[in-house]
Amino acid sequence: MTSTESLIDRRQLSYIAAQAADARLNVELETEGMTLNIGPQHPATHGTLRIIARLDGEQVVWAEPSCGYMHRGYEKLTEVRTYPQVTALVNRIDWLGSFANEVPFILAAEKLMEIEAPPRAQWIRTILFELSRIANVSLFLGDLGVQLGAITPVFMAFRDREYVLNLIEGATGGRFHPNFDRIGGLKEDLPAGFIDETRVVMKKLRNFCDEMENLLFGNEIFQSRTRGIGVIPKDVAMQYGLSGANLRASGVDWDLRRDQTLPMAWNKVDWKVWTHPDGDSFARCWVRLQEVRESTLIVDQLLDNIPSGPVMAKVPRIIKVPEGEAWVSTENPLGEMGYYVVSKGDLGPFRTKIRSASFNNISIVPWVLKGVYVPDIITILASLYFILGDIDR
Amino acid sequence: MGLVDRGRLPKPLNSLLNLGRSYSLWVYQWGLACCAIEMGAAFGSPRYDVMRLGVIPLPASPRQADLVVISGTVTDKMAPAVKRLYEQMPEPKYVISMGSCANCGGPYWDSYSVTKGVDQIIPVDVYVPGCPPRPEALLEGVVLLQQRIRNEDMGARWRGEGSKPIIVGDASKSASSGASKKGVARVD
C-alpha cells in the first residue's frame, strides 16, 4: 500500500511542479486573465450545468459550478403528493437509473410502517436496481468517449443499453421511468421469459464491457488524457462528501450495498467492491467499468436462486404512514442517495429531504478544477459523472 | 432569395425547395432533462437512426440549425436561455416540443420553479407527448414536420398564416396535418 501511495504522491508532486512552472511563465509574460463561461447548454456538459472559470492563459485559476437550471422543486412537491404518487416523481431525479431512485424512498416509508416486502419482491427489486445501474453506467462509458472526441463508444453504449431498457420495459412497462415499486412490494411479478432473456443480455453486456476496455481504456490517447488528471486524494474526497465510484476511485473501500443491512438481496450473493488507488480521472472511469461488469454478475447470481412467493405484502388500501422520521440511503449508480422522510400520519410526507449523490459530487469541482488546463475541464467533469436532475433536484 | 422570402417562387421550384428543406433539417439538440436521453437514443443510437430520415443532428450552434428539439423541463431559470437560443436561429425555423414537461409542465404542473410549457416563450410546431416519449414518437414528430414542410407555402408562412401545431398521436389531427391550411391562424 505504501508503494502505491508514494506513487500517487510522486505523480501529484510532478503534476503540481509542472503547473507551478507554467504559472511562473505566465507571471513573467504578464498574461491577462479572462472569464470563460461554459454552459448552461453546452455539448460537453451532458445537461444544463454552467461552469464559470477564470483563466490565466490556458489554466484555470478559479472555477465554480452554477446550479439550479434544472431545479424542479422535488422536496416541496413531495409534500403535496401521497406516498404512492411520490415514486412517480422521484423516478425523474436521476433519470438514467430511475428505478434505483424509488427504492430508498419506498424503504424509508416501509421502515416507518414497520412492514417488509416479501423475499421475492426484495430479489426482484435488487435485480431491477442493478439493471438500472447497468443502463446508467453503460451510457456513461459511451458518453465518456464523446467528451474526449471519440464518437464510436456512444453508439455501442446506446446499442447495448437498449437491451437492458427492453428488459426493464418488459418487467415494468416503462423504458426508464418504471414507477414499479410499491410500499410493501412490487406492482407485478416478473413476466414469463424474463429470466432467460436477462441471462442472454447480461452476457451481451459483459461483451460490451470487454469491448469498452479494449477500445477506450486501452487507448493511448484516452490514457494520456485521463491518467494523472484531476487527482482527488483520499482525505479530500472524504472531506467533500463524495460517494459512489468517485470515492472508491480514490481508494476508499466504501459501498453501501455491502456495508448496510437493508431488506435487499445484495448480501445473499458473492460480489466484490472495486477500488482504485490513484484517484484520477482514469481511476473513476475504470471503477465504473468494473462495476458494470460486477452488476451483471450480481444479476446472474440473483436469477439463479430467486425465491418463489408473493411480491406484495399485506398493505392497507389507503396508505397512511404513521408518525415518525426515517432515513434510508442506498448505493445508487451515482453514489449515496438517501431520503429523510418526516411523517405526521397523513397520506403524504410532511417533509422530505433528498440527499442526492451528484450534488455532493460536484461540490469538489472548484477544488479539483484549480490549476488544470481548459481541455481537462471537460475530462474531469465527465469522469466525475453527474446528472443534472440529481444535482438540482 | 428575395423571391423565396416573398413566397413568389414558381410552383415547381417551390416544391423542389421544400423537398430539399424537408430532407436536410439540421436539428439542434436542446437537451434539458430525461427526454434528452430519449432524444439521444433517437438521434445518436444505431437502433433509431435519425439520419436515414434526412435529419442531421450535428450542429453545435443554434445559428446553423433549422429545427430545435426542446426536450425536457424548462425551468424559470432556463427560460431566458431558451428564448435567446430561439432568437439566434435563422429563419425559417421549427420547434419540436418533446415530452410533457416542455408541452405543459408535466409532472411538475404545480412546481414553483418550472415553466408550464415552452409554448409560453417560443412558438411550437410539433408537440410530442409522453413522459418521456419513446424515440419512435419523436421520429414520428420529425416525419410529420417534414410532411408539413414539403407542402408549405413560404408566402403564407411569412405573412404569419401558418397552420396549427401538430400533436403526435392525435388521430383526428395528424391525418390532415400534412396539408397546410391556408387562412387558419397560427396558434402560438
Question: Where along chain A do its domains lie?
Answer: 74-357
The whole-number pLDDT of residue A200 equals 92
Task: Please check the confidence at residue A17 and state whether its pLDDT lies above 80.
Answer: no
B58–A contact, CB cutoff 8 A: no
Q: Who's near A350: CB < 8 A, 6+ residues apart?
A: A79, A342, A343, A344
* Number of inter-chain CB pairs under 8 A, A vs B: 84
Task: Please check the confidence at residue A255 and state whether its pLDDT lies above 60.
Answer: yes
**A340 sits in which H/E element:** strand A335-343
At A276, list the grid cell.
482504485
At A226, list the grid cell.
485521463
The whole-number pLDDT of residue A241 equals 87
Nearest residue of chain B to residue A139 (CA atoms):
B37
Q: Residue B171: which pLDDT band, with cuts at 50, 70 and 90?
A: low
CATH 1.10.645.10 fits A74-357, yes or no: yes
Cβ of B78 within 8 Å of Cβ of A69? The answer is yes
* Measured distance CA(A51)–CA(A183) in Å, rounded: 39
Chain-centroid distance of CA B23 in Å reads: 14
At A369, list the grid cell.
478544477
The whole-number pLDDT of residue A6 equals 62
The whole-number pLDDT of residue B187 equals 41
Rounded to the nearest integer, the mean pLDDT of chain B is: 80
Q: For A79-101, what is the mean pLDDT? A: 87
Q: What is the pLDDT of residues A168-223, one digit of tens each?
A: 988 888 887 888 888 888 888 888 888 899 999 999 999 999 988 888 888 888 88
Q: What is the pLDDT of residues A104-115, one digit of tens each?
A: 999 998 888 888
* Measured distance CA(A307)–CA(A118) in Å, rounded: 10
Q: Residue A340: which pLDDT band, with cuts at 50, 70 and 90?
A: very high
The whole-number pLDDT of residue A30 equals 64
B33–A contact, CB cutoff 8 A: yes
Which of A46, A72, A88 has its CB closest to that of B111? A72
Residue tagged 397552420 (cell numbers): B163
Cβ of B44 within 8 Å of Cβ of A158? The answer is yes
Cβ of B107 within 8 Å of Cβ of A154? The answer is no
The whole-number pLDDT of residue A10 equals 62
Q: Residue A147: which pLDDT band, with cuts at 50, 70 and 90?
A: confident
B44–A contact, CB cutoff 8 A: yes
Task: Please check the confidence at residue A364 and state whether its pLDDT lies above 80.
Answer: yes
Q: Answer whether B52's CB lies under 8 Å from B90's CB.
A: no
Concatenated DSSP letters for B128-174? E-SSSPPHHHHHHHHHHHHHHHHT--HHHHHTT---PPEETT-HHHH
Q: How far is A351 from chain B (nearest CA, A)?
A: 15
Task: Please check the confidence at residue B155 and state whether its pLDDT lies above 80.
Answer: no
Q: Residue A296: which pLDDT band, with cuts at 50, 70 and 90?
A: very high
pTM of the model: 0.83
Q: What is the pLDDT of residues A191-202, one digit of tens each?
A: 888 889 999 999
Q: For B133-161, what is the mean pLDDT? A: 83
The whole-number pLDDT of residue A64 equals 86
Listing from the earlier edge strand, what are the strands of the sheet with A59-66? Answer: A33-38, A50-56, A59-66
Cβ of B113 within 8 Å of Cβ of A46? The answer is no
The whole-number pLDDT of residue B178 equals 45
Q: For B103-110, what is the mean pLDDT? A: 87
Query: Percentage of residues in chain B with pLDDT exceeding 70?
Result: 85
Rounded to the nearest integer, the mean pLDDT of chain A is: 85
Query: Percentage of residues in chain A with pLDDT exceeding 90?
Result: 11
B132–A contact, CB cutoff 8 A: yes
Burial of A20 (0-12, 13-18, 19+ CB in 10 A): exposed
* Measured distance CA(A174)–CA(A158) in Å, rounded: 17
At B1, list the grid cell.
432569395
Q: Residue A257: which pLDDT band, with cuts at 50, 70 and 90?
A: confident
The dihedral sign for the CA sequence B105, B109, B113, B115? positive
Q: How far is B44 from chain A (nearest CA, A)?
A: 7
Residue type at B108 in one-letter notation: Y
Q: How far is B162 from chain A (nearest CA, A)?
A: 30
* Measured distance CA(A341)–CA(B69) in Å, rounded: 37
B34–A contact, CB cutoff 8 A: yes
Q: Who's near A31: CB < 8 A, 6+ residues apart?
A: A56, A57
Which of B41, B114, B132 has its CB closest to that of A72? B114
Instruction: Please tell me whether residue A271 adopts helix, strand or coil conformation.
Output: coil
Q: In chain B, which residues have their Cβ closer than 8 Å to the Cβ of A69?
A: 75, 77-78, 81
Task: Please check the confidence at residue A363 and state whether its pLDDT lies above 80.
Answer: yes
Q: For A356-385, what is the mean pLDDT? A: 86
* Measured distance CA(A108)–CA(A89) in Å, rounded: 16
Q: Answer whether A162's CB lies under 8 Å from B45's CB.
A: yes
* Measured distance CA(B15)–CA(B180) in Å, rounded: 13
B88–A contact, CB cutoff 8 A: no
The whole-number pLDDT of residue A201 equals 92
Query: Best mutation site among B45, B88, B109, B118 for testing chain A: the one with the most A CBs within 10 Å?
Result: B45
Residue type at A250 in one-letter notation: S
